[in-house]
C-alpha cells in the first residue's frame, strides 16, 4: 500500500467520489481515470504524484484492478497562484457543483482584467467565491463573452473540469445559443453565415469578414419574431471568433441594435443587443447532459417593449 506525504482527504468538501459499476469491474484504476472519467495524462501524473486518488479509502497503485461497488475518491483542489484580486460580488449563479459554475453575466462587465481595468471583473468575483469554499485553483473560463454581451458563461472550478469541458468545446459538443435584435426585417426563416473573420487593418478591436486572411467562422440563425424595422433572432455558433455574431450580421446588412462599432444604432439601447440565453453541455465526472437558460435582461425587455409590431 502506498503511503502519502500529505493527506489531501481531510476536507470532505474537496473530495469527489465515483462508484464503480458492474460494467467497469476488472478495469484498472488508470483505465477508470483515463477512459471513463476522461482525465488527461498530464493531470493523471499530477494526481499520482500528489496522492490525490484513493480507492475504498486506500492509496493503491494505478495498475490495481477495481471491483463493482468500489468507491473512487479524488481531490482536484490545488494551491495555484493567481494574480487576480478577489472581490466580493453578487454573482447570478445559475448552476454550481464541485466542478462547474454557470453564471449569468451582466452587460458591462469584463470577464478577464484588461489594460488598466484590474478590478470589477467576473474573474475577480469568481476567485472570491472559490476562496470562500477553500478552493485555491485559478480562474478558468471555458469560453468568452464580450463586455456588453449578457448571459450564460461556463467557469471550470478545477483543472479536471477545464480539460473536460474544453475538450467538449473544441469538438463542438457545447451548444451555445444567443438571442439578438438586429436592424431591419430578415426575410428568411433561418440561415447559415459562412464567412471567415479577421482583424480590421489599423484597429486592435474591430474585426471584419476577410476571405483572404480570415479564420473560418460559421453562424446559424433562426428568426424568432419580426418587428417594423427589427428582427429577433436565435443564434447558434459553430465556431467562436472574436465578435463573430456582430461581424456576421453587420456583413448581412443587419447589424445588432446598439452596436455602433458595426453600424447599429444605439437610439433604443446603449449596448449591442446580444444575450447568451442557452447552454447545453455534459457535466464532468457524471457525464450527465444538462441544459441551462437565462431570461432576457431588463434592458433587452425594455427594448422589446419599444419595438413596433410588423404591419401585415
- For 206-260, the DSSP string reads -EEE-TTTPBP-EEEEEEEEEBSSEEEEEEEESS--TTHHHHHHHHTT-PBTT-T
Compute CA distances 240 → 103, 155, 178, 247, 289, whole Å.
Answer: 19, 16, 13, 12, 21
| pLDDT at residue 113, as a whole number | 86
pLDDT value, residue 270: 94
pLDDT in tens, 136-179: 999 999 998 999 999 999 999 999 999 999 999 888 899 999 99
Q: Which residues contact 262 (CB under 8 A, 6 or more apart)?
A: 206, 243, 246, 247, 249, 250, 255, 256, 272
Percentage, residues of the chain above pLDDT 70? 99
From the list 70, 97, 146, 302, the catalytic residue is 146
Domains and CATH numbers, the chain: 12-75 (3.10.290.10), 93-306 (3.30.2350.10)
Give the pLDDT confidence score for residue 267 in this predicted structure.
93
Confidence of residue 1 (pLDDT cuts 50, 70, 90): low
Q: Which three cell numbers stand for residue 143?
A: 469560453
| pLDDT tens digits along 226-265 | 999 999 999 999 888 999 999 999 999 999 999 999 999 9
SS3 274: strand
What pLDDT band is residue 289 in, cutting at 50, 70 and 90? very high
pLDDT of residue 311: 78
Residue 44: partners with Cβ closer than 8 Å, 6 or more residues away: 30, 33, 34, 62
The whole-number average pLDDT for the span 169-192 is 94
By DSSP bridging, strand 150-156 and strand 274-282 are: parallel
Catalytic, 210? Answer no
Instruction: Give me the chain's average pLDDT, please.
Output: 94
Amino acid at each position: 500500500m502506498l503511503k502519502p506525504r500529505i493527506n489531501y482527504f481531510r476536507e470532505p468538501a474537496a473530495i469527489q467520489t465515483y462508484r464503480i459499476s458492474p460494467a467497469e469491474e476488472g478495469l484498472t484504476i488508470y483505465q477508470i481515470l483515463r477512459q471513463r472519467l476522461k482525465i488527461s495524462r498530464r493531470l493523471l501524473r499530477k494526481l499520482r504524484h500528489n496522492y490525490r486518488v484513493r480507492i475504498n479509502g486506500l492509496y493503491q497503485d494505478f495498475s490495481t484492478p477495481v471491483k463493482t461497488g468500489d468507491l473512487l475518491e479524488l481531490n482536484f483542489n490545488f494551491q495555484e497562484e493567481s494574480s487576480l484580486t478577489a472581490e466580493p460580488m453578487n454573482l447570478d449563479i445559475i448552476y454550481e457543483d464541485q466542478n462547474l459554475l454557470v453564471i449569468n453575466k451582466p452587460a458591462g462587465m469584463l470577464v478577464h482584467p484588461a489594460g488598466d481595468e484590474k478590478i470589477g471583473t467576473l474573474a475577480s468575483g469568481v476567485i472570491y467565491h472559490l476562496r470562500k469554499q477553500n478552493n485555491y485553483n485559478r480562474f478558468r473560463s471555458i469560453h468568452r463573452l464580450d463586455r456588453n454581451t449578457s448571459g450564460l458563461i461556463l467557469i471550470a472550478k478545477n483543472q479536471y473540469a477545464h480539460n473536460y469541458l474544453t475538450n467538449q468545446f473544441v469538438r463542438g459538443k457545447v451548444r451555445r445559443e444567443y438571442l439578438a435584435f438586429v436592424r431591419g426585417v430578415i426575410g428568411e426563416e433561418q440561415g447559415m453565415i459562412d464567412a471567415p473573420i479577421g482583424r480590421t487593418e489599423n484597429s486592435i478591436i474591430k474585426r471584419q469578414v476577410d476571405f483572404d486572411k480570415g479564420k473560418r467562422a460559421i453562424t446559424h440563425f433562426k428568426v424568432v419574431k419580426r418587428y417594423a424595422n427589427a428582427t429577433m433572432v436565435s443564434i447558434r455558433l459553430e465556431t467562436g471568433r472574436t465578435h463573430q455574431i456582430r461581424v456576421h450580421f453587420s456583413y448581412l446588412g443587419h447589424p445588432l441594435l446598439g452596436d455602433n462599432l458595426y453600424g447599429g444604432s444605439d437610439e433604443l439601447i446603449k449596448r449591442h443587443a446580444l444575450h447568451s440565453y442557452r447552454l447545453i453541455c455534459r457535466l464532468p465526472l457524471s457525464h450527465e447532459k444538462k441544459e441551462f437558460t437565462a431570461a432576457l435582461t431588463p434592458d433587452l425587455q425594455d427594448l422589446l417593449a419599444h419595438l413596433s409590431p410588423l404591419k401585415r
